[in-house]
Amino acid sequence: MHSGTVLCLFKNLGPGSRSTHEWYRTREWISIALALGASALLLRWTYLGVHRYATADHLPAHYLALAHPRTGQPGVGRRLSGLVVHVGDGDNFRILHTPWLLRWWIRWRWQITGGQLPGRGTLASQTIHVRLAGIDAPECAHFGMLGQRYGPEAKAWLQRTLLNQPVRLELYQRDRFGRVIAHVWRPFRIPLFGALLPGRNVSLEMVRAGYAEVYRGAGAIYGRFQKALEAAEQRAIRRRLGMWASASASRFRNAGNISPGVIDVTNSIFVATLACRRQSTE
């Protein structure tokens, strides 16, 4: 390369050259674009941190998982945190959504007000109805239907485990009752590091305790836990835990089996119904 060419190149990049001016203008536009992008991300992050979804119907469609075209099983949707404020039955409950910037305030307010919902609303208007994914628990009597054997015990287990406790949800789909189907996690109570760990899967815990079985009906959703749930169920049956304690309790579907042998069926249904209602009012 000739020395004249080199001098010409340095001249074009000098302080007053056109190339230098264009470079500075480009750098300014890049800086502006980066600043606008960072501001938009910060606004979005803040919005998600304070925006509370009142019910399952308020959840955006993209929060739920799409079904796999071959297996029909949905992938994992978005994750939500919440506070369990009501247990309706052995496999469903209601949460107050707690976005991360308001999480501690909502929990504190719930405690000092004695369980008052935001805006003095109702459970139906201010809470997300959740159905545990992959399992089926015996039901208490409701809507004029007879209760199932071990319904009160299953509900009592879920109340002891979740009521007034924080949970994390992996969302899947809404069911025909308007509930959101989710795998639910109980965070570990470890200072500082508890929030970084996945926690305990409630569906697995309940099957292991013997108060639920793997749901095998149409449209069953397991996520990635089908094998683990089936193994936990077989282990509970072998050890006769929970509802598997009685040899005659291999299934809880028949409402007439609420209490075998000793007490007649009518009285057993009545007792189970009263037990469920008593738990609901406590």
**What number of helices (H) and strands (E) belong to the chain?**
8, 8
Q: What is the DSSP letter of 19?
A: H
Q: What span, in angstroms and rounded, lies between the C-alpha atoms of 136 and 90?
A: 8
Q: What span, in angstroms and rounded, lies between the C-alpha atoms of 38 and 219?
A: 42
Residue 160 designated active-site: no
Q: What span, in angstroms and rounded, lies between the C-alpha atoms of 136 and 101?
A: 34
The beta-strand segments (E) located in 120-267 are: 128-132, 135-136, 166-174, 180-186, 200-201, 213-214
Q: Which of 94, 153, 170, 179 is catalytic?
A: 179
Element containing residue 6 per DSSP (H, E): helix 3-12
Residue 213 designated active-site: no
Q: Which of 94, 139, 170, 213 is catalytic?
A: 139
φ, ψ of residue 180 to 5 degrees: the values are -95, 125
Residue 179 designated active-site: yes
Q: Which of 94, 131, 186, 208 is catalytic?
A: 131
Residues with a catalytic annotation lie at 131, 139, 179
